[in-house]
Structure 1
Amino acid sequence: MSTKKSMLDTPKKLVIKVLNRTKSSLKSVNGYALNTTEEVVSEGIIVAEQWQTVANKAIKGSLSLAATQQDIVFDALTGVKKHVMLSKKRFTKLIA
């Protein structure tokens, strides 16, 4: 038996060593990417919930404001109608 090492054993061991290091590095990078993505999504959900609360308040406030403005418009239109009818009566008295 020969105690001499084969010339192919050393490169093969080097390749296996490099592949193992690459696998462990990729696992580490994959774990980091997964954790980072999870944090980003969680923060996005929290921020979206906060904006949804703000939007709900804005919608409720705007609906009440719109109702008030609508009442003001109808009151103004009623006033204009009364004024026009009074002016019509006055004008017909002047002409007749």
Structure 2
Amino acid sequence: MATNKINTANFTKKVENAIKTVKSKANKANYYALNATEEVVTETISIATQWQQVTDKALKGGVKLLDNQQNLIFDTLESYKKHFVKGSKRLRKVFA
């Protein structure tokens, strides 16, 4: 019965070539993943900056609106106070 001899030199070359190919493909995949991640992070920072500016404008506008509403409420309360004081004086005159 004949046995097949494995050519170790040829087998070693094939394994080395396979390892080189795997390293090359892994480097390419790593480079692609790194670039894609960098693009995503850069775009995210850009969008976050834009939203931060929008939020800043909204907060400033909200503070102005709150100030106007607060002034309106105080003016209304002062007006009611004046009417209430006048009304109570008139009511005292009627029933006194």
Q: Same fold (TM over 0.5)?
A: yes
Measured against aligned partners, the alpha-carbon deviations of 1:32-74 in whole angstroms (never above 9, x if no partner) come to 0000011111101111111111111111111111111111000
State the distance in 2 between where 1:6 and 1:28 align.
Answer: 33
State the distance in 2 between where 1:46 and 1:35 align.
Answer: 16
The corresponding residue for 1:91 is: 91
Letter in 1 for 2:34: L
Percent identical:
42
- The count of corresponding residues between Structure 1 and Structure 2 is 92
The corresponding residue for 2:82 is: 82
Measured against aligned partners, the alpha-carbon deviations of 1:2-61 in whole angstroms (never above 9, x if no partner) come to xxx962222222111111100000000000000001111110111111111111111111
Normalized against structure 1, the TM-score is what? 0.88
State the distance in 1 between where 2:76 and 2:89 align.
Answer: 20
Structure 1 residue runs without a partner (length 5+): none
Structure 2 residue runs without a partner (length 5+): none
